[in-house]
Amino acid sequence: MRMYPNAHFKSLLLNLFLTALALSYALMMGWLLFYRNRYFLEGYNYNVVPFYTIKKYIVHHDHFNFEIWFKNLFGNIVLFIPIGLFLPLLNTKYRRVFILVAVAILLITAVELIQMLARVGSFDIDDIILNTFGALLGLLMTNAVVRQAL
């Protein structure tokens, strides 16, 4: 019985290495999302209107510091690309777009809710949209590389 029966790679060592990388990524993201430069907010902050924040950053880009603008639009995409890399490489069922997107939405929604309830951030539907897009980009990259390798 293989330890990683649904993984792309037959090498146990490679699968263990990918698992270690994925766990390192998860720890880094936990630190970024819950501890780094966080302060407790008063009350609950949230946005449930899709594309409200994204539109605000695009339309009023000149009202924002470039670093804040860039991090909120592109950082939210780039930081979640690894989800679309690690999940499909560790388990082939996540190579299917619907499954990966569903898992990404559930995971990211949980993170957003925890941030809001712990008052270390806000719940923003646009973060879920951008983060999920990042995971989807990771999946597209993974599928392209895997197809080339086959």
Q: Across the strands, what pairs with 123?
A: 46
pLDDT at residue 1 tops 50: no
Per residue in 46-59, pLDDT (tens digit) is 999 999 999 999 99
* Assigned domain for 88 exists: yes
pLDDT at 147 over 90: no
In a domain, 1, yes or no: no
Is residue 7 included in any domain, yes or no? no
- Looking at the 3D structure of the chain, how many domains does it have? 1
Residues 6-16: tens digit of each pLDDT? 666 778 888 89
Identify whether 3 is part of a domain: no
How do residues 64-110 score in pLDDT, each as one tens digit?
999 999 999 999 999 999 999 999 999 999 999 999 999 999 999 99
| Residue 109 structural domain | 12-149
